[in-house]
Structure 1
Amino acid sequence: MQPEIQQRVKQLRQQLQEASYAYYVLDAPIMADEVYDRLYRELQELESDYPELIAAESPTQRVGEKPATQFFSVKHNIPLYSLENAFNLQELAKWQERWQRIAPPLAPPCQGGGQDEISPPLDGIAPPLTPPCQGGEQDGISPPLDGIAPPLTPPCQGGEQDGISPPLSNEENKEITPPLSKGGQGGVSYVCELKIDGSALALTYENGVLVRGATRGDGIAGEDITQNVKTIRSIPLKLNLDNPPPVVEVRGEAFLSLAVFEEINREREKAGEQLFANPRNAAAGTLRQLDSKIVDKRRLDFFAYTLHLDEDNEEKTQGESLELLRRIGFKVNPNRKICSSLDEVREYYEYWDTERRNLPYMTDGVVVKINSVGLQRQLGFTQRFPRWAIALKYPAAEVPTIVEAITVQVGRTGALTPVAELKPVQLAGTTVSRASLHNSDRLSELNLHIGDTVIVRKAGEIIPEVVRVLPELRPENAQLFQMPSCCPECTQPVVREKGEAVTRCINTSCPAILRGSLIHFCSRDALDINGVGEKLVQQMVDSNLVQSAADLFDLTAERLMVLERMGKKLAEKLVSAIARSKNQPYARVLYGLGIHHVGSVNAQLLTERFANVEELAAVSAAGIEGVYGIGPEIAQAVYQWFRVPANQSLIARLQTAGLQLHSEVKSHNLADKNLQVAGKTFVLTGTLPTLKRDEAKDLIVKAGGKVTGSVSAKTDYVVVGEDAGSKLEKAQSLGIELLSEAELLELLET
Structure 2
Amino acid sequence: MSGISILRAQVDDLRQLIRRHEYLYYVLDRPEITDAEFDTLYQRLQTLETQHPELITPDSPTQRVGGRPVEGFASVQHKAAMLSLDNAYNAEELREFEARIKRALPGERFTYVVEPKVDGLSVALLYEGGRLVRGATRGDGRYGEDVTQNLMTVRGIPRYLHGPLAACAALEVRGEIFIWRQAFEKLNRELEAEGEEPFANPRNAAAGSVRQKDPRITEVRRLDIFIYGVSYAEPDPFTEHWQTMGQLLEAGFLLDPQDRKNTLERYRRRCADIDGVIQAYLEIEAARDEIGCDCDGVVVKVDAIEQQRRLGSTTHHPRWAVAYKFPARQATSIIRKIDVNVGRTGALTPTALLDPVEIAGATISRATLHNADEIERLDIREGDTVLIERAGDVIPHILRVIQEKRPPDSTPFCFPGQCPVCNAQAFRPEGEVVSRCTNSACLARLKESLLHFGARRAMDIEHLGEAVVEQLVDRKLVRELADLYRLDVATLAELERLAQKSATNLHNAIQGSKGRGLSRLLFALGIRYVGEHVATILARHYGSMDRLEQAPEEELAEIFGIGPRIAQSVALYFRQPENRRQIEQLREVGVSMKEAGVTAEPRPLAGKTFVLTGGLEGLTRDEAKELIVRVGGRVTSTVSKKTDFVVVGKDPGSKFDDAKRLGVPTLDEVAFKELVSRGIESKK
C-alpha spacing 1:352/1:608, structure 2 compared with 1 (3 Å): same
C-alpha spacing 1:627/1:260, structure 2 compared with 1 (3 Å): farther
Bigger-Rg structure (1/2) = 1
Paired position in structure 1 for 2:47: 216
SS in 2 for 1:451: coil
Paired position in structure 1 for 2:442: 510
Paired position in structure 1 for 2:420: 488
Aligned counterparts of 1:248 and 1:632: Cα–Cα separation in 2: 44
Alignment partner for residue 556 of structure 1, among 464, 488, 495?
A: 488
CA-to-partner distance for each residue in 1:273-326, whole Å, 9 max, x for gaps? xx99999xxxxxxxxxxxxxxxxxxxxxxx9xxxxxxxxxxxxxxxx9x99xxx
> How far did residue 478 of structure 1 move?
2.6
Paired position in structure 1 for 2:100: none
Q: What TM-score does the superposition give when structure 2 sets the normalisation length?
A: 0.52
Q: What TM-score does the superposition give when structure 1 sets the normalisation length?
A: 0.48
C-alpha spacing 1:737/1:512, structure 2 compared with 1 (3 Å): farther
Residue correspondence of structure 1 range 3-42 to structure 2 within 5 A: none
Paired position in structure 1 for 2:400: 468
Aligned counterparts of 1:731 and 1:341: Cα–Cα separation in 2: 50
Aligned counterparts of 1:550 and 1:481: Cα–Cα separation in 2: 39
SS in 2 for 1:514: helix
Aligned counterparts of 1:545 and 1:657: Cα–Cα separation in 2: 16
Kept in 2, the 8 Å contact 1:683–1:717? The answer is: no
Aligned counterparts of 1:552 and 1:524: Cα–Cα separation in 2: 16
Kept in 2, the 8 Å contact 1:550–1:650? The answer is: yes
Paired position in structure 1 for 2:285: 353
Paired position in structure 2 for 1:717: 643
Aligned counterparts of 2:270 and 2:38: Cα–Cα separation in 1: 19
C-alpha spacing 1:446/1:615, structure 2 compared with 1 (3 Å): same
Paired position in structure 2 for 1:660: 592
> How far did residue 70 of structure 1 move?
8.5
Alignment partner for residue 406 of structure 1, among 338, 342, 361?
A: 338
Identity, % of aligned positions? 31
Paired position in structure 1 for 2:352: 420
Note the aligned Cα RMSD (angstroms): 5.3
> How far did residue 598 of structure 1 move?
3.0
Paired position in structure 2 for 1:705: 633
C-alpha spacing 1:639/1:355, structure 2 compared with 1 (3 Å): farther
Alignment partner for residue 642 of structure 1, among 571, 574, 590?
A: 574
CA-to-partner distance for each residue in 1:339-391, whole Å, 9 max, x for gaps? 5695x46522311323567699975689999xxxxxxxxxxxxxxxxxxxx99
Alignment partner for residue 589 of structure 1, among 521, 535, 548?
A: 521
Kept in 1, the 8 Å contact 2:613–2:652? The answer is: no
C-alpha spacing 1:701/1:579, structure 2 compared with 1 (3 Å): closer
1:704 corresponds to which letter in structure 2?
Answer: G
1:216 corresponds to which letter in structure 2?
Answer: T
1:413 corresponds to which letter in structure 2?
Answer: T
SS in 1 for 2:345: coil
> How far did residue 421 of structure 1 move?
0.7
Alignment partner for residue 259 of structure 1, among 105, 108, 120?
A: 120
> How far did residue 615 of structure 1 move?
1.0
Aligned counterparts of 2:331 and 2:627: Cα–Cα separation in 1: 64
Q: Does 1:545 align with 2:477?
A: yes
Aligned counterparts of 2:605 and 2:480: Cα–Cα separation in 1: 33
SS in 2 for 1:422: strand
Aligned counterparts of 1:225 and 1:335: Cα–Cα separation in 2: 38
After TM superposition, the structure 1 stretch with the greater mean CA deviation from structure 2, 422-431 or 637-646, is: 637-646
Aligned counterparts of 2:661 and 2:121: Cα–Cα separation in 1: 42
Paired position in structure 1 for 2:96: none
Aligned counterparts of 1:349 and 1:469: Cα–Cα separation in 2: 31
Aligned counterparts of 1:621 and 1:640: Cα–Cα separation in 2: 9
C-alpha spacing 1:479/1:714, structure 2 compared with 1 (3 Å): farther
Kept in 1, the 8 Å contact 2:559–2:629? The answer is: no
> How far did residue 547 of structure 1 move?
1.1
C-alpha spacing 1:566/1:218, structure 2 compared with 1 (3 Å): closer
2:457 corresponds to which letter in structure 1?
Answer: D
After TM superposition, the structure 1 stretch with the greater mean CA deviation from structure 2, 470-479 or 217-226, is: 217-226
Higher helix share: 2
Alignment partner for residue 381 of structure 2, among 428, 443, 449?
A: 449
CA-to-partner distance for each residue in 1:462-488, whole Å, 9 max, x for gaps? 111111112221222233211111011
Paired position in structure 1 for 2:539: 607
SS in 1 for 2:429: coil
SS in 1 for 2:594: coil
Which stretches in structure 1 are left out of the alignment for 5+ residues?
Answer: 1-67, 74-194, 203-213, 237-246, 250-255, 265-274, 280-302, 304-319, 324-333, 370-389, 686-696
> How far did residue 720 of structure 1 move?
9.1
SS in 1 for 2:396: strand
Kept in 1, the 8 Å contact 2:453–2:459? The answer is: yes
Paired position in structure 1 for 2:462: 530
CA-to-partner distance for each residue in 1:405-438, whole Å, 9 max, x for gaps? 1111111121111111111111111111111111
> How far did residue 650 of structure 1 move?
1.1
> How far did residue 537 of structure 1 move?
0.7
> How far did residue 458 of structure 1 move?
0.9
SS in 2 for 1:413: coil
Aligned counterparts of 2:501 and 2:200: Cα–Cα separation in 1: 42
Paired position in structure 2 for 1:681: 610
CA-to-partner distance for each residue in 1:646-698, whole Å, 9 max, x for gaps? 11111111111111111343534459898xx27x435799xxxxxxxxxxx99
> How far did residue 336 of structure 1 move?
7.9
C-alpha spacing 1:231/1:197, structure 2 compared with 1 (3 Å): closer
> How far did residue 499 of structure 1 move?
1.6
Kept in 2, the 8 Å contact 1:626–1:704? The answer is: no
> How far did residue 541 of structure 1 move?
0.8
Alignment partner for residue 431 of structure 1, among 353, 363, 372?
A: 363
Aligned counterparts of 1:565 and 1:363: Cα–Cα separation in 2: 39
Kept in 1, the 8 Å contact 2:659–2:665? The answer is: no
After TM superposition, the structure 1 stretch with the greater mean CA deviation from structure 2, 460-469 or 347-356, is: 347-356
C-alpha spacing 1:395/1:652, structure 2 compared with 1 (3 Å): closer
Query: How many residues of Structure 1 are paired with residues of Structure 2 in the alignment?
Result: 430
C-alpha spacing 1:699/1:596, structure 2 compared with 1 (3 Å): closer
SS in 2 for 1:480: coil
Aligned counterparts of 2:481 and 2:587: Cα–Cα separation in 1: 12
Aligned counterparts of 1:428 and 1:684: Cα–Cα separation in 2: 50
SS in 1 for 2:536: helix
C-alpha spacing 1:471/1:231, structure 2 compared with 1 (3 Å): closer
Kept in 2, the 8 Å contact 1:683–1:715? The answer is: no
Kept in 2, the 8 Å contact 1:409–1:416? The answer is: yes
Kept in 1, the 8 Å contact 2:118–2:296? The answer is: no
SS in 2 for 1:450: coil
SS in 1 for 2:281: helix
Aligned counterparts of 2:666 and 2:612: Cα–Cα separation in 1: 12
Aligned counterparts of 1:435 and 1:362: Cα–Cα separation in 2: 21
1:455 corresponds to which letter in structure 2?
Answer: L
SS in 1 for 2:375: helix
Kept in 2, the 8 Å contact 1:684–1:707? The answer is: no
Kept in 1, the 8 Å contact 2:354–2:364? The answer is: yes
1:717 corresponds to which letter in structure 2?
Answer: T
Aligned counterparts of 1:480 and 1:557: Cα–Cα separation in 2: 50
Kept in 1, the 8 Å contact 2:328–2:392? The answer is: no
Kept in 2, the 8 Å contact 1:418–1:438? The answer is: yes
Aligned counterparts of 2:456 and 2:299: Cα–Cα separation in 1: 41
SS in 2 for 1:547: coil
SS in 1 for 2:570: helix
Aligned counterparts of 2:48 and 2:559: Cα–Cα separation in 1: 32
